[in-house]
Amino acid sequence: MVRGVDHDTAAFAVNTIRSWWYNVGRSRYPHARRLLTTADCGGSNGNRLWVWKTRLAELAAETGLEMTVCHCPPGTSKWNKVEHRLFSFISVN
């Protein structure tokens, strides 16, 4: 699996979705035509930032999938138990 190395969070996040789709998603969901993603509304993947939207649009064109993103209110990621457990590892990297 290819890991992202981009300094921009939006590019990194979309590359992660891309990697998941090609390595797991398309074989598990071969008839999928749409992809729903949830994202925190703060930071580089916010609902108003053009880089996030542009990268997602590129991925949609590349895969042929209709992309939908549901943004959680800013700051709600701190209540995500899985993400909260990863903060120390993310900081190390």
User: Is the model's pTM score more than 0.85?
Assistant: no
Q: Are 10 and 55 in contact (CB under 8 A)?
A: yes
What integer pLDDT is reported at residue 52 of this predicted model? 81
HSE, side-chain direction, 13 A CA sphere, residue 74: 7
pLDDT band at 25 (very low <50, low <70, confident <90, very high): very high
User: Residue written as tokens 């053009």?
Assistant: 50
What integer pLDDT is reported at residue 39 of this predicted model? 78
Q: Does residue 59 surpass a pLDDT of 90?
A: yes
**Looking at residues 15-35, what average pLDDT do you find?**
94
What residue type is assigned to position 14 of the chain?
A: V
